[in-house]
Amino acid sequence: MFPLHRGRRLRVNESIRSLVRETTLSPSDFMFPMFVTEGENVKVKIPSMPGIFRRSIDLTVEEVKEIYALGIRAVNIYVKVSENLKDNTGKEAWNKDGLMQQAIRAIKAACPEMIVMPDVALDPYSVYGHDGIIANGDVENDSTVAALVKMAVSHAQAGADFVAPSDMMDGRVLRLRDGLDAAGFHNVGIMSYSAKYASAFYGPFRDALDSAPVDTTDIPKDKKTYQMDYANRIEAIKEALSDVEEGADMVMVKPGIAYLDIVREVKNAVHVPVTVYHVSGEYAMIKAAAERGWLDNDKIMMEQLMCIKRAGASLISTYFAKEAAILLNK
């Protein structure tokens, strides 16, 4: 009660503010999404994501070593495969000598302590750009889940620490857990994309992997039959709770900043770590505004990451991971 209580006493200088700060960030709070491409000594700029590249495996390994030295302890791996390897079955996804499997082995060999969480979805391998197998004009749930199990087991065999299903098929966490356990991978975890919304913020990511749905009349033109409606809140809680019941070790909310209410709701509902994906569109907007001098890149970056952590994130998957870690280490 004023004047006995003055909130500004706790804001007088940075030393006092740091003493009472409720939320803190460290490099170990971040996971770095990485795009892997074929070839050797290949580093390709992604125009819609300044500072982010598709790298061949050799250069990916070098980047992993660098970010590990900065204190980042997890990477989320995505691959851009050749068009001739794509079909409607996604069978390249569980090729033991596929690009993803080679990347996992190379990273774990070079940096064994780095936690590797490969993406589990069929869109990089699909001629249609969808996360599953097309049948009767739609993404068929159960046959897709069967394919995802093969994919996840192949990732575990290559050395993955967690698998990260981003497909949003019904029941896939339970099937993945059963499949991993049956193959002897009891300690390989599942980080489930539980509340993944059908968002327009994913555009730059699809540029990076060339994985946007094909625009044809006989299949869905978008992913709204399996990704969530962004108008819904209760559904996110239901999906997260269901995934935990099915065996998920972590759950994810995606996107990040525009969905902080969902992050908090999910955090309050589950008793497992909550990961938040600060997605490509959120990254690209900051970069574009900063390039024009409209925003301060570093200040906005740190504010958004802090807000995601404050909302309840245990781990933040962000393209800013390396930049933020460098800044925090200074």
Nearest to 158 by CA among 132, 178, 188: 188
Inter-axis angle of helices 234-246 and 260-269, to 10 degrees?
A: 40
254 has catalytic annotation: yes
- The one catalytic residue in 86, 196, 223, 309 is 196
Averaged pLDDT, 194-200: 97
**Contact assessment for residue 123 and residue 226, using Cβ atoms and an 8 Å cutoff:** no
Report pLDDT for 179: 98
Q: Where are the domains of the chain?
A: 29-329
Averaged pLDDT, 261-277: 98
* φ/ψ of residue 33, rounded to 5: -75, 135
| pLDDT surpasses 80 at 208 | no
SS3 99: helix
Q: b/e map of 36-70 (b: 16 or more CB within 10 Å)?
A: bbeeeebeeebebbbebbbbbbebbbebbeebbeb
Averaged pLDDT, 252-276: 98
**Contact assessment for residue 132 and residue 167, using Cβ atoms and an 8 Å cutoff:** yes
Average pLDDT of the chain is: 96
| pLDDT surpasses 70 at 134 | yes
| Confidence tier at 211 by pLDDT (50, 70, 90) | low
pLDDT digits (tens, 9 = 90+) for 67-84: 999 999 999 999 999 999
Report pLDDT for 220: 85
**Contact assessment for residue 197 and residue 228, using Cβ atoms and an 8 Å cutoff:** yes
Neighbour count for residue 247 (Cβ, 10 Å) = 17
Averaged pLDDT, 4-9: 94
Cis ω for the linkage preceding 3 (within 30 of 0): yes
pLDDT digits (tens, 9 = 90+) for 302-317: 999 999 999 999 999 9
Task: Kindly give the pairing relationship between strand 115-120 and strand 133-135.
Answer: unpaired
List the binding residues for Mg(2+): 239
| pLDDT surpasses 80 at 33 | yes
- The one catalytic residue in 86, 108, 223, 254 is 254
Report pLDDT for 34: 97
29-329, superfamily in CATH?
Aldolase class I (3.20.20.70)
